[in-house]
Amino acid sequence: MVCDTGPLLHLGEANALHLLQLAGEILIPEVVAREFQENAAGQILPDWVQILELEEVHERKAIEWNRYIDQGEAAALALSVQVHADWLLTDDTKARQFAGQILELEVHGSIGFLLWAVAAGHIADQKMALELLGSLANSSLWVSERVLQNARTAIEKLFSA
């Protein structure tokens, strides 16, 4: 999985960054590592997050895509294409639309990742899942009340199944 800066920050603020490791290999481009260090307010990038350099052809794509989306998101998209990533994790709406519609990548956000962790059995307690959702809602992640309610409902359904 390739991740951009937002989910690293938001999951870190929610004390849930460790959950990313459960998804397997986590890759980020160098620019995302820099953005994380500049914005993480004392958080440290875990050593299990791998920082990869973009190949020249993909670096050019990132520069081109930076006209439409932010630099970190563009680099994460380019890295996703470079490594043929299974997922791209981003909370940026433009980047999600671009990745899904133009590049046909599987894209998830922090809340979708939390729901995956619940569905995969990595969070075995409903109360903990709802607390983590609340922590994400109280992080710097902007999320609508409708999305939060849908996520609460999904968590309840996953635990009642």
> Which domain covers residue 7, as residue numbers?
1-161
In the chain, the amino acid numbered 90 is: T
Q: How far apart are CA 150 and CA 2, in angstroms?
A: 25
Q: How far apart are CA 50 and CA 38, in angstroms?
A: 18
- One pLDDT digit (tens) per residue for the chain, 161 residues: 999 999 999 999 999 999 999 999 999 999 999 999 999 988 899 999 999 999 999 999 999 999 999 999 999 999 999 999 989 999 998 888 888 777 778 899 999 999 999 999 999 899 999 999 999 999 999 999 999 999 999 999 999 97
- Name residue 49's beta-bridge partners: 26
> What does the pLDDT read at residue 7?
96
> What does the pLDDT read at residue 45?
93
User: Is residue 152 within 8 Å of residue 26, measured between CB atoms?
Assistant: no
Q: Return phi, psi of residue 42, to 5°.
A: 90, -10
> What does the pLDDT read at residue 112?
95
> What does the pLDDT read at residue 31?
97
3-state SS class at 8? helix
> What does the pLDDT read at residue 161?
73
3-state SS class at 50? strand
> What does the pLDDT read at residue 74?
95
CATH number of the domain bearing residue 115: 3.40.50.1010
> What does the pLDDT read at residue 43?
87
> What does the pLDDT read at residue 83?
95
For the beta carbon of residue 133, count every other beta carbon within 10 angstroms: 23
List the one residue out of 81, 77, 103, 101 whose CA is nearest residue 89: 77
> What does the pLDDT read at residue 42?
84
> What does the pLDDT read at residue 100?
75
Counting the structural domains of the chain, the total is 1
